[in-house]
Amino acid sequence: MNGRQRVLDVSPLPEYAFGHQGLIWWGTVGFMVIEGSMFVIGLVVYFYLRLKVQEWPPSLPDPELPFGTANLLLVLASLAPNQLAKQAAERLDLRGVRLWLSVLVAVGVVSVVLRGFEYTTLGCRWDDNAYGSIVWVLLSMHTIHVATDVVDSGVLLALAFTRPVAPKRFVDFSENSLYWYFIVAWWVPIYAVIYLAPRWL
């Protein structure tokens, strides 16, 4: 090569990209795969324990439906403002991001409050037996994800209102909406397992 080094000029490349063309999207998807595998393991443990006993729940009442169902309906309804927030981010529409991200933070806070009431209506303590333990583990794993996303969304919302927003920051807003889809999607099977499986199995 006569001592020459090859140089690649990347200056024409964009500074940010939405979707699978951006690194943040791949990081978010990788995180969802890891976290999703934890949920899968939790569900496998639940059904493994079910196979070991005759009665399910063992010597405990079925969980009550109202708070869990209200939470399910709330997060399903949140898919609409979540999509609007994602679309606003990808249009670089700061006003739209502020509006719909505010709605999502409010939904997240209400969801966490409802989750607190859910714990009181499970019909079991975490240390009653293996059933109680796995039910609390499943609900707590999802609660941690909801609470974490509320904090993350709150930080992004604060940045949207208090600092100049560079175009590449809108990628963060967009991927935040992608993660909320993950949280909502996992609440459907976890809800079914915690609240419906004891009535069906």
- Segment 47-71, tens digit of pLDDT: 999 999 988 999 899 999 999 999 9
Count of other CB atoms within 10 angstroms of residue 65 = 14
Residue 158 lies in a domain: yes
156-181 pLDDT per residue, tens: 999 999 888 888 888 899 999 999 99
Domain of residue 104, residue span: 19-200
Task: For residue 13, tell me if it sits in a domain.
Answer: no
The answer to whether position 7 is within a domain reads: no
Nearest Cα residue to 201 out of 85, 47, 64: 47
**Which of 88, 80, 140, 89 lies closest to 107 in space, CA to CA?**
80
| Residue 71 belongs to domain with CATH number | 1.20.120.80
Mean pLDDT of successive 10-residue segments in the chain (201 residues)?
Answer: 64 66 86 95 96 90 96 97 95 95 96 97 94 96 95 94 86 92 96 94 79
Give the residue from 176, 174, 154 showing the smallest Cα distance to 88.
Answer: 174
Cβ(188)–Cβ(82) below 8 Å: no
pTM of the full structure:
0.87
The total number of structural domains in the chain stands at 1
